[in-house]
C-alpha cells in the first residue's frame, strides 16, 4: 500500500475514533447542583398551602378545595396529602425504584482488548498486533426475569407511597374529628362553668346579706373545680391536636381554621362484598402482591442464574512474521462448586417471606374490619340510649332552674341536676366522636373514601 493511501486510511480511522468519542461524551450524564434550603417553608395561614387537586383526581380538570369555608375531615385529609412535609420524600423514593428498573434493563458492555508488541530483534520482520471482543451471554438468559422483577418493584413502590398518603390523610381526618368534638365539649363545659359561676355569685350575695350560710357554697365550689379541671384537660388536648394538624398541613403551630361537622359515610351492614374486593383496593395489600410478583421473578432469575458464566467473542492477531489469524473464543465457568445455590435459596426465602406477610396482613385487615363493624354497632346502640338520657337530663335541669327561681330547690340539688345534664351531654359528644372515628377507620380498612392514585405533588417547592 502506498504512503498516501496509508495516510488517508489513518485520517479515516482517526476521524471515526474522534466521532465515537464525541458521541460517547454526548450520552454521558452531567452534574447539576441541587442546593439545600436555608429556611423552613411553613405557611402562616390556611390559604398559603396547596389546595388544588391534580387533574387525574378531579376528572376533566383541576379541582380546588375552598379553604375559606369550614372544612370537612375528608377535605382536610386531602390537604394533608398535598402539604405534609413528610411526603416530600416520595419523589426520591420513586426515582430510586425507577433507577433500579433502568439498571436492570441494561446489558453488560462488550469487552474489547487491544495489544501491540514492537519488534526488538530476532527473525521477525514486523511488529505483532492483537485484538479481541467478547460479550457476556449469561445476562441475556436472565434479562427478561430481571426486568419483570424490577418493573413489579416500581409498581410496588408506587402502591407503598399511595398507602403512605392514605395513612397521612387518615391521621388528618381523625385529628379533625377530635378537634371538632373537643370544641363542642369545650363549649358545653364553658357554658356549664358560666352557669355555676352565676349561681355562685348569687349565693355569695345571699351569704353577704345573711340570708344563707357559708356551707351552702361548698358544693358549688367543688363542682366548679371539677369542671375547670375537665375544661383545662380538654383545652390542652385540643392544643396538642391542633399542633399535630398544623404539622401535617405544613402550617405554623398557631394557625387555626374552621372545621365543619363530620358526616362519615355509613357503610352497609353486609360487608362481605366489600371485604372480597378489598385486596384490589387497599394500596398496602396491592404493594405486597406486587412485591410477591417481583420476588417470584427473582426466583426465576436465580434459577436461570445456575447457567455458568458464558462469554462469547472473537480474536484477530498478526505475529512478527506477518502471519494473521482470526477466530472465535469461548470462556465459561465449570459449575463444580458454585451453582448459584445461595442466590436460589435467598430468592425463595424472600418469596416465602412476602407470601406469609401478605397472608398475615390480609388476615389482620379482615379481623380489624369485623371488629370495627361490631364496635360501630355497639357505639350506635349506646349513643341512642345516651342521647335519650341527655334529653331527659336537660329537661330536668331546666325544670330545676325554674324550681330554684321560685325557691323550691336548693343550690346543691340545682348543681347536681346541671352537672348531671352536662356530663350526659359530654358523654354524647364522646360517643359521637367514637362513632365518627370508627366509620372513618372502617372506610380505610376497606380501601374506600380516598383517592386511588397518588396526589402528592412532585415539585417540592411550596407556593407562598
pLDDT tens, the chain, 464 aa long: 455 554 565 565 455 555 656 555 555 677 788 788 788 888 899 999 998 888 764 444 568 899 999 999 999 999 999 999 888 877 788 888 888 888 888 888 888 888 888 888 778 788 888 889 988 888 888 888 889 999 999 999 999 999 999 999 999 999 999 999 999 999 999 999 998 888 888 878 877 877 677 777 778 888 889 999 999 999 999 999 999 999 999 999 999 999 999 998 887 778 888 999 999 999 999 999 999 999 999 999 888 888 777 788 888 888 888 888 888 888 888 878 888 888 889 999 999 999 999 999 999 999 999 999 999 999 999 999 999 999 999 999 999 988 988 888 887 788 889 899 999 999 999 999 999 999 999 999 999 988 888 887 755 444 43
CA 358 – CA 365 distance, rounded (Å)? 10
Beta partners for 115? Answer: 130
Listed in sequence order, the residues at least 6 apart from 170 whose beta carbon sits closer than 8 Å to its beta carbon are 77, 440, 441, 444, 450
CA 257 – CA 72 distance, rounded (Å)? 11
Q: Is the CA virtual torsion 210, 214, 219, 224 positive or negative?
A: positive
Distances from the Cα of 123 to the Cα of 84, 316, 318, 448, angstroms: 80, 22, 15, 87
Other residues' Cβ atoms within 10 Å of the Cβ of residue 250: 24
**Which strand (E) or helix (H) includes residue 11?**
helix 3-26
Q: Of 198, 216, 199, whose CA–CA distance to 207 is shortest?
A: 216
pLDDT of amino acid 4: 57
Q: Of 135, 142, 140, 146, whose CA–CA distance to 102 is shortest?
A: 146
Pick the CATH number of 41-106+142-305+340-446 from 1.20.1600.10, 3.40.50.1220, 3.30.70.20, 3.40.50.1820: 1.20.1600.10
Query: Which residue ranges does the chain devote to CATH 2.20.200?
Result: 109-141+307-339
CATH of domain 109-141+307-339: 2.20.200
pLDDT of amino acid 284: 94
pLDDT of amino acid 339: 83
Give the global pTM.
Answer: 0.83
pLDDT of amino acid 3: 52
Query: Which residue ranges does the chain devote to CATH 1.20.1600.10?
Result: 41-106+142-305+340-446
CA 132 – CA 315 distance, rounded (Å)? 4
Amino acid at each position: 500500500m502506498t504512503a498516501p493511501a496509508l495516510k488517508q486510511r489513518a485520517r479515516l480511522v482517526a476521524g471515526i475514533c474522534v466521532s465515537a468519542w464525541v458521541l460517547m461524551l454526548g450520552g454521558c450524564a452531567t452534574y447539576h447542583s441541587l442546593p439545600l434550603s436555608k429556611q423552613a417553608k411553613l405557611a402562616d395561614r390556611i390559604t398559603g398551602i396547596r389546595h388544588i387537586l391534580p387533574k387525574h383526581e378531579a376528572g376533566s380538570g383541576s379541582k380546588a378545595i375552598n379553604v375559606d369555608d369550614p372544612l370537612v375531615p375528608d377535605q382536610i385529609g386531602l390537604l394533608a396529602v398535598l402539604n405534609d412535609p413528610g411526603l416530600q420524600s416520595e419523589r426520591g423514593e420513586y426515582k430510586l425504584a425507577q433507577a433500579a428498573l433502568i439498571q436492570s434493563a441494561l446489558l453488560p458492555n462488550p469487552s474489547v482488548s487491544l495489544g501491540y508488541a514492537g519488534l526488538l530483534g530476532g527473525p521477525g520482520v514486523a511488529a505483532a498486533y492483537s485484538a479481541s471482543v467478547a460479550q457476556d451471554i449469561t445476562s441475556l438468559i436472565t434479562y427478561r426475569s430481571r426486568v419483570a422483577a424490577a418493573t413489579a418493584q416500581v409498581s410496588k413502590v408506587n402502591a407503598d407511597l399511595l398507602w403512605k398518603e392514605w395513612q397521612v390523610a387518615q391521621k388528618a381526618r381523625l385529628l379533625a374529628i377530635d378537634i371538632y368534638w373537643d370544641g363542642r365539649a369545650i363549649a358545653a363545659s364553658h357554658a356549664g362553668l358560666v352557669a355555676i359561676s352565676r349561681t355562685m355569685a348569687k349565693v355569695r350575695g345571699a351569704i353577704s346579706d345573711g340570708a344563707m350560710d357559708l356551707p351552702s357554697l361548698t358544693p358549688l365550689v367543688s363542682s366548679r373545680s371539677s369542671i375547670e379541671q375537665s375544661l383545662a384537660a380538654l383545652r390542652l388536648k385540643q392544643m396538642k391536636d391542633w399542633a399535630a394538624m398544623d404539622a401535617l398541613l405544613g402550617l405554623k403551630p398557631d394557625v387555626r381554621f374552621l372545621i365543619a361537622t363530620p358526616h362519615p359515610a355509613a357503610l352497609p351492614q353486609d360487608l362481605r362484598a366489600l371485604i372480597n374486593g378489598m385486596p384490589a383496593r387497599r394500596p398496602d395489600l396491592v404493594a405486597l402482591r406486587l412485591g410477591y410478583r417481583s420476588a417470584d421473578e427473582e426466583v426465576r432469575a436465580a434459577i436461570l442464574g445456575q447457567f455458568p458464566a458464558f462469554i462469547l467473542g472473537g480474536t484477530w492477531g498478526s505475529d512478527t512474521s506477518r502471519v494473521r489469524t482470526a477466530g472465535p473464543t469461548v470462556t465459561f465457568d465449570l459449575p463444580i462448586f458454585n451453582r448459584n445455590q445461595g442466590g436460589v435459596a435467598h430468592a425463595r426465602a424472600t418469596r416465602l417471606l412476602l407470601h406469609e406477610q401478605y397472608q398475615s396482613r390480609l388476615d389482620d385487615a379482615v379481623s380489624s374490619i369485623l371488629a370495627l363493624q361490631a364496635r360501630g354497632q355497639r357505639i350506635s346502640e349506646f349513643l341512642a340510649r345516651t342521647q335519650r338520657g341527655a334529653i331527659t337530663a336537660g329537661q330536668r335541669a331546666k325544670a330545676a332552674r325554674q324550681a330554684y327561681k321560685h325557691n323550691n330547690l336548693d343550690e346543691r340539688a340545682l348543681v347536681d341536676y346541671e352537672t348531671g345534664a352536662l356530663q350526659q351531654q359530654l358523654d354524647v359528644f364522646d360517643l359521637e366522636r367514637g362513632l365518627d372515628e370508627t366509620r372513618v377507620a372502617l372506610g380505610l380498612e376497606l380501601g374506600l373514601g380516598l383517592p386511588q392514585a397518588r396526589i402528592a405533588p412532585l415539585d417540592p417547592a411550596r407556593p407562598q
